[in-house]
């Protein structure tokens, strides 16, 4: 019986099935050995024992062959795993650097915003001070102003003297 190779070794169901089959054969062999007398029964027992020994020898040879392949595969898997871990570490380092840069940029932007906001509030306060100092005298409606001297055409012309 050949076992399918899966991620973590051999297919467990196939291995269990093979072991169950061996167990059944060994139980039958033991039962025959107990009830066997001389002659044909002993020949069947020897035949079964030889068959089981051959089966186990073939399995051992197949496992040894797979072990050599498995070793090469394990080395390749270990190399790929090490490479992936290196790439993961590099990606984590890059992410850490980008995160720190983004945080520094955000702090700088917040400081700039707060400075601009403070400057705006100071200008607003200064405008309020200036406007508070201006007298709030109203001009009576019949007071002549410069606008009152504008002719109906819309522009005032200066006469040359």
Instruction: For residue range 110-119, list pLDDT tens digits in order.
Output: 999 999 999 9
Distance CA 16, CA 61 (A): 19
Distance CA 9, CA 7 (A): 6
Q: Which pLDDT band holds residue 101 (cuts at 50, 70, 90)?
A: very high
pLDDT of the residue at 149: 62
- Contacts of residue 5, Cβ cutoff 8 Å, sequence gap at least 6: 11, 66
Instruction: For residue range 37-91, list pLDDT tens digits in order.
Output: 656 766 777 677 777 767 766 765 665 555 555 677 778 878 888 888 888 888 9
Distance CA 120, CA 3 (A): 78
Q: Which pLDDT band holds residue 145 (cuts at 50, 70, 90)?
A: confident
5 beta partners: 10
- SS3 assignment, position 75: helix
């Amino acid at each position: 019986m050949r076992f399918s190779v899966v991620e973590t070794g051999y297919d467990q169901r196939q291995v269990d099935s093979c072991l169950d089959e061996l167990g059944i054969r060994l139980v039958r062999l033991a039962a025959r050995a107990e009830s066997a007398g001389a002659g044909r029964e002993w020949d069947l027992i020897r035949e079964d024992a030889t068959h089981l020994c051959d089966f186990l020898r073939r399995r051992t040879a197949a496992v040894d062959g797979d072990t050599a392949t498995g070793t090469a595969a394990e080395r390749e898997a270990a190399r790929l795993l090490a490479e992936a871990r290196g790439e993961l570490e590099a990606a984590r380092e890059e992410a850490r650097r980008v995160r720190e840069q983004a945080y520094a940029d955000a702090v700088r932007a917040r400081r700039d915003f707060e400075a601009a906001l403070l400057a705006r509030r100071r200008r607003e306060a200064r405008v309020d001070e200036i406007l508070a100092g201006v007298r709030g005298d109203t001009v009576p409606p019949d007071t002549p102003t410069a606008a009152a001297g504008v002719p109906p055409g819309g522009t005032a012309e200066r006469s040359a003297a």
